[in-house]
Chains A and B, each alone.
Chain A
Amino acid sequence: MNRDYVFGRIYIWSIILIGTVAFCFYFKIPIASLEEWVLIYLLAGSVLLSNYFLVYLPPEGNSISMDSSIYLACLFLYGPYITMIVLSLFTIIYAVYNRKTQLWKHLFNFSMYCLMLLGAYYSFVASGGKIGLVNIQNIFPYLLALFVYFCLNISFLSLHFIISSRSTFKGVLNVGLLKEVAITYCITLLLSLVLAILLDSEKYFGLFLFTILITLLSFVFGKFIQLYRLVSERANCDYLTGLYNHGFFKETLKEKFSDAKLLQQPLSLALLDLDDFKKYNDCNGHLQGDKLLKFFGDLLQKGAEGKGYVVARYGGEEFAVLMPNTKQEEAFLFMNRLRKEINDTYFAGVEYIPYRCISFSCGIAEMEKGMQDCGELIHKADQAMYYAKAQGKNNVQIFDEHNISLSALEFKEDLDALEQQVKIFLSKDVYTYRHSKRVFTYALEMSDRLDLTDHEKQTLILGALIHDIGKLEVPRDILNKKGKLEPHEWEIIKKHVIWGKEILATEKRFEDVLPLVELHHERYDGKGYPYGLKGEDIPKLARMLCVIDSFDAMTTERPYQRTKTFEEAIIELRRCSGTQFDPFYAEKFIELIETKYLPRIKEQMSG
């Protein structure tokens, strides 16, 4: 059992014990005269009302009960005994009314008030105050009593907080909070003097006036709070989707970030971007696009319900989910399940976008110990999201330093541009499209295992994505032909490397990628096409790409080849290493497959 919890309990029950003993010490029979009883009834009723009609103060969550005013006024005029009877009567009725609250909470409250009142009473009497009349000539005892009451209250509550959550206590008594509380208390305590004067001169009617006043104030302030909530909701929420907006999200993130840091709890952030939303908008109109955003927002909200996640619209079609107390693996499972759910949810107009369903790409990052600023978390999630986009969209990625290149943004633009071109294959030849994507993934993973500069890495990745672009020029019936290819058809196929180079050469920024496209079918032994280059004459990136390209060609179904398993393909790579492939790169690639893919396949087979 938690040590703090035990100490907290000991503290609470000792306060209850002291308070109850003090009360019993004062208790006597008969309790009061009939006239006093009338007073007790009215005061208790008044306390009940003021507890029911709390006066709310912005900012939210702050409310004051005027019951302290009533107790103190009662104390000044009628002494501690009557006051404590009123208090106990109130506690009994309130405990019956609030049956759901645990009894010890009522008891603790009762005891705390008992001790506070006694403290105020003794300091009042000791400093020369007289019970029974309001003497404004000597105001000091009143002020002292109020001060003692205030200090006792603050110390009881903060002691409770410190003891019961000591391990996480990092200075709750900040000055700003104390100031705010002090003002609230001043209101309560000054009102107690007002009530005392009213009670003194008009008795029941004075109390009646006071109670009515509190009730009306509570109504009025309640309206204000409602208005405040409405306005702040509007300020914090995105108008279209009803989710939180960017500004509020950033604020919340900052808060949760420092909380998580303090409490050493995990914190995960998921950034997601609707796939092909621009295309959807173009095909269906912006009104329908808005509807999709709203629909998606609702789905997201519903999915995150009851988990304590903060869901926000981060930008145009970007959304963010903040997951306190969640590890990135959990976050991944959650987002991936959500992604599948959303894929299966039909929405009018999705026929026009490539995946033919609503989909999103999502990047997840978890707070790490070294992080100083929540901006880092956003940045990482953002990079992971771009990586997910680059992986062909509709997937979820956890941030991993190895997967994200350095000038991510610029690279992403290039990638997007090439991606657009590769996409043409979707309608022409889906095999080539998928093949390009997979080769791209292999290249991405491979680039980290090779001793390459960042620029070389990026060139390899871009080249892998675009290497077969020349096949656009090859007629469909040749690409999709089931039987063996005629020699002249082979000649056409072979030309795709030249055509690809020509297509890509139109844009200057892809200059470095050209050799990869042109030379990825050259062989190490010089028997490849188009030029028959040999050995080191072939650029190393092209040699690498050749290995990857061939491996994927072997392992996936294509119109003119039988499928090999990964193991078979590895054997084939080894066999042709030194003739078709550069032995060094072939071995490097086999290493990647063996460490990263084979275990996974085995798992799937056994699972």
Chain B
Amino acid sequence: MVYDGILLSLLIGFFRGGNLKGIAEMKLRGGWLFPILLVIEIFIFILQNKIEIVAKLSNGMFLVIYATGLVFLWLNRHQPGFTVIFAGVLLNFIVMLLNGGRMPVSVEAAQFLGREYIEALKAGVYGKHEAITSATWLPFLGDIIPLSPPYPRQQVISIGDVVMNVGAFIFVQHLMVDATKEEETKAVPANQ
């Protein structure tokens, strides 16, 4: 879903006459955090079903990853769209924190994803997700929004994901369109 949003913003960015120069030149504080978080996350995904300790700690670690991500976003809050991304991640973080480090998923909304998925979900071993039950806190912040045709992919997402994508969209648009324009306006007086 995150990648879909970024892809869409790139397309619209090109459509609005932007280019990738701004993205190549973007400067973020603590940018090195990002790949490390990604590697750790993938590491947990792969190992949590094989090594017991990782499985036990995985929930806590997800939260740590999220918290680190939030710090990273907060450091860069002056960038356009980052406060929105921050809000989205925070919404996800809150609901995961309240539900023991896992993202609650609406079983009804996830119906079309297939029986194996639902069973894995109910067994609590599917990635960082778990099924919504009556004991779930703030279920409306969980993965309850089904994406279905004509949307090209089938998925269930949370409102936090949507907000995050809006933020990413704003940021990419800024990098592709505004940043280039700013450079042009700066360049004009120099030419005269």
Interface positions of A (Cβ within 8 A of B): 31-32, 34-35, 37-38, 41, 45, 205
Contact = CB atoms under 8 A, between A and B. Distances in A.
A38 B108 contact: no
Interface in B77-129: 106, 108-109
A205 B140 contact: no
B162 A31 contact: no
Q: What DSSP secondary structure best describes chain A's contact surface?
A: helix
The 5 closest A-B pairs by CB, nearest first: A37-B140, A34-B144, A38-B145, A34-B106, A41-B159
A299 to B, nearest CB: 21
Contact of B162 (A32, A34, A35, A45): A45
A34 B159 CA distance: 12
Contacts of B108: 34-35
**Size range of the interface on B?**
10 to 19
Nearest to B139: A34
A34 B109 contact: yes
B132 interface: yes
Contacts of A37: 140, 144
Contacts of A35: 108-109, 144
Q: Which of B140, B146, B150, B162 is packed against the most chain A CB atoms within 10 Å?
A: B140
A35 B150 CA distance: 19
Contacts of B132: 34
A19 B89 CA distance: 33
Given A34-B132, A34-B144, 6 more contacts: A31-B140, A34-B140, A38-B144, A41-B145, A41-B159, A205-B150
23 contacts: A31-B140, A32-B140, A34-B106, A34-B108, A34-B109, A34-B132, A34-B139, A34-B140, A34-B144, A35-B108, A35-B109, A35-B144, A37-B140, A37-B144, A38-B109, A38-B144, A38-B145, A38-B146, A41-B145, A41-B159, A41-B162, A45-B162, A205-B150
Contacts of A41: 145, 159, 162
Nearest to B104: A34
Contacts of A38: 109, 144-146
Contacts of B150: 205
A32 B159 CA distance: 15
B95 to A, nearest CB: 12
B113 to A, nearest CB: 16
A382 B132 CA distance: 81
A45 B144 CA distance: 16
Contacts of B139: 34
Contacts, number: 23
A481 to B, nearest CB: 58
A295 B154 CA distance: 65
Q: What DSSP secondary structure best describes chain B's contact surface?
A: mixed
Contacts of A205: 150
B104 to A, nearest CB: 10
B162 to A, nearest CB: 7
A45 B88 CA distance: 14
Contacts of B146: 38
Nearest to A42: B145
A32 B106 CA distance: 14
A34 B145 CA distance: 9
Contacts of A34: 106, 108-109, 132, 139-140, 144
Nearest to B87: A96
A446 B132 CA distance: 100
Contacts of A31: 140
A214 B150 CA distance: 20
A38 B139 CA distance: 11
Contacts of A32: 140
A175 B107 CA distance: 57
Contacts of B159: 41
Nearest to B147: A204
A45 B159 CA distance: 10
A38 B108 CA distance: 12
A418 B162 CA distance: 82
A35 B132 CA distance: 13
Contacts of B140: 31-32, 34, 37
A35 B106 CA distance: 9
Nearest to A97: B84
B102 to A, nearest CB: 17
A32 B145 CA distance: 14
Q: Which of A31, A41, A45 is packed against the most chain B CB atoms within 10 Å?
A: A41
B171 to A, nearest CB: 16
A41 B146 CA distance: 12
A38 B162 CA distance: 11
A38 B158 CA distance: 9
A236 B140 CA distance: 55
Nearest to B106: A34
B181 to A, nearest CB: 16
A35 B162 CA distance: 16
A579 to B, nearest CB: 74
Nearest to A40: B140
Nearest to B84: A97
A32 B162 CA distance: 19
A570 to B, nearest CB: 63
Q: Which of B139, B145, B150, B162 is packed against the most chain A CB atoms within 10 Å?
A: B145
A35 B108 CA distance: 9
Contacts of B162: 41, 45
A205 B132 CA distance: 25
A50 to B, nearest CB: 15
Nearest to A31: B140
A153 to B, nearest CB: 29
B134 to A, nearest CB: 11
A31 B150 CA distance: 29
B169 to A, nearest CB: 12
Nearest to B145: A38
B35 to A, nearest CB: 31
A38 B140 CA distance: 8
Q: Which of A31, A32, A34, A205 is packed against the most chain B CB atoms within 10 Å?
A: A34
Contacts of A45: 162
Contacts of B145: 38, 41
Nearest to B159: A41
A49 to B, nearest CB: 10
B159 to A, nearest CB: 5
A244 B106 CA distance: 63
A389 to B, nearest CB: 39
Nearest to A35: B108
B135 to A, nearest CB: 14
A31 B139 CA distance: 11
Interface in B13-35: none
